[in-house]
Structure 1
């Protein structure tokens, strides 16, 4: 039975790339379900799957995050991982899909949970914006803020893995500067907001040499995250499960000194305990 992957919104569950990839469970928010219902929901997932990995966006309302931590405490279980991930919404959705793909592999729940931080470094997540006046997730200079008020202005913004902002030229003769893209094979996914532009598919995708382009509905949390509804959000990620498997499998595995689960990296995905520092010699 694969480890259950859970999300905090149904629009973070992208279509499965193949028939072997399971879906993710969208957890009920506190404004729709009481504490007892939330306890029953997570308890049922643990009973059915054994372990649950819930991906919590950094933009998640505090009341939702507190509810999930309270439920885990009430259940007194170390089988629920609550992963705080600092990616834009579409990047979160792609990371969730990668975890869903890997959940059917032979990785232990601890390795799968701690792999989320590793995989997030390989997701190039950004947006084409009609304004950066209210963008507070990445640094925006005063000059860009001023240009944001000029009608027709557009900005290519990359939030992960290295924040950058590029003002796209208005004239067709000017060679556009583009955000630096991945140097490995990716598939580009984009979602349209209220900005009428094909720039992501016609300009960015060829420049990044992606292996394919897919369009999906815009997550509800995208406009608040980017500070404007006038956007086209995009994210490039590794689509091939064999490459994802090799990437995770190549990292040395350790045992968590607190809960005993396997982990990769420097922190357990389930109990958040840091990896013990190696003992120094005499």
Structure 2
């Protein structure tokens, strides 16, 4: 069985790209699932899949992260990886689907968990917003820019890989965002803002091959600071391309937990890549 991919919210589960894409397990938070039931849920996943990778957005409630660490501690398992991501909700859902696709391949659990950081750099996640007054998760120096902007304006915002903001239709400068230099698919989720800018202006300039619409994640208005938005995420959608990307990175062995990894940090124990022997002073938080 492939490594299990789990999420902390059903918002993070997009429809599969093909029939072979494995599903994701949803682990509800402490407000809706008692601890003993949560333990049983994860134990069952471990028995069926051997290893579990849980994707938890950085914006998730602190109680949700505490629950995950509590479950891992009580199960005394080193086969549970907790992957945090700062991507906005739709971008995080795209990352989860990519991990689901790759989980059916020949990658070890350690490579799969550490691949999340690599894949994040290839997800162009943003939104069109009707207001940026409460946008505080994208460091684009808004204070010096919003003064003098009239009500009713629309803004294109990119959260990553490189944060950026433009005023759409301002006539005073570029009104597009710098996108990927490779062919992508675009996932689109509409909130309470009427605009076709992502499909009519952004998609052609970003070499978008196909556009898929989905429901707006429940957490998106809170993340972006307004319900007047259209969220989007351009990404690599083809499994062979994703497989080649991950395969091209040199594999290492974690000096702490001995899991295989790519990049500079273990996806399971969070230890940084090092050739030195671990000591009590340098041991990562488990």
Contact map agreement 1:8 1:55 (CA 8 A) in 2: yes
SS at the partner of 1:64? helix
In structure 2, the residue matched to 1:195 is: 193
- Aligned pairs, how many? 276
1:225-259 superposed Cα distances (whole Å, 9 cap, x missing partner): 10100000000000010010000001110111111
Decide which moves more: 270-279 or 94-103: 270-279
RMSD: 1.5
Please report the TM-score for the alignment, with normalisation by the length of structure 2: 0.93
Q: Which runs of 5+ in 1 are unaligned?
A: none
What is the CA-CA distance between 1:33 and the residue it aligns to? 1.1
SS at the partner of 1:66? helix
In structure 2, the residue matched to 1:86 is: 86
Q: Distance in 2 between matches of 1:71 and 1:147?
A: 50
What is the CA-CA distance between 1:177 and the residue it aligns to? 2.0
Q: Distance in 2 between matches of 1:277 and 1:124?
A: 33
Q: Which runs of 5+ in 2 are unaligned?
A: 278-286
In structure 1, the residue matched to 2:143 is: 142
Contact map agreement 2:183 2:206 (CA 8 A) in 1: no
Contact map agreement 2:255 2:275 (CA 8 A) in 1: no
The correspondence for 1:207, drawn from 188, 205, 208, is 205
SS at the partner of 1:156? strand
Runs of 4+ in 1 over 4 A off after TM superposition: none
Please report the TM-score for the alignment, with normalisation by the length of structure 1: 0.94
1:166-204 superposed Cα distances (whole Å, 9 cap, x missing partner): 011257xx7852110000111011100110111111111
What is the CA-CA distance between 1:147 and the residue it aligns to? 4.5
Contact map agreement 2:90 2:217 (CA 8 A) in 1: yes
What is the CA-CA distance between 1:143 and the residue it aligns to? 4.2
SS at the partner of 2:157? strand
Confirm or deny that 1:247 pairs with 2:245: yes
